Amino acid sequence: MGNPGMTDGRLATRDSLLTVSEMLNSGECEPAKAAVHGLLMATVALCAAYNTAAWIKRRQTHLAINAIVYSAAIWWERCHVVHHLRACPEDTSAAPRPKLMDAA
């Protein structure tokens, strides 16, 4: 009788951890990594917009500092998104077809 948590003699949770570990390797799942950084970039952009608007209204120093830090984080996350997208393998299926010669 087998253990429901076992797969080929290994724990199922260990298999999923190995998958995550492999995903973290350079060149693996780059579109997913870019999407995560894109989500973070959207989040810090929202934080930057809020802190900038709050600073314009209240003129408190900590809001200005927050707005500057979050604005820098937008740039930082953008760099990560670009890095991951550049590491994506080229899609050869979208290559342009050669033009057909006129047979007439």
Query: 10-68 pLDDT, tens per residue?
Result: 545 555 554 777 888 887 888 999 999 999 999 999 999 999 999 999 999 999 999 99
* Backbone φ, ψ for residue 4 (5° rounding): -65, -20
Is residue 75 scored above 90 in pLDDT? yes
Determine which helix (DSSP H) or strand (DSSP E) holds 21, and give its type and residue range. helix 12-23
The answer to whether 70 and 48 have CB atoms below 8 angstroms apart is yes
Of 47-51, 88-92, 98-102, give the range with the top mean pLDDT.
Answer: 47-51
For 54-104, give the DSSP string: HHHHH--HHHHHHHHHHHHHHHHHHHHHHHHHHTSPP-GGGPPPPPPPP--
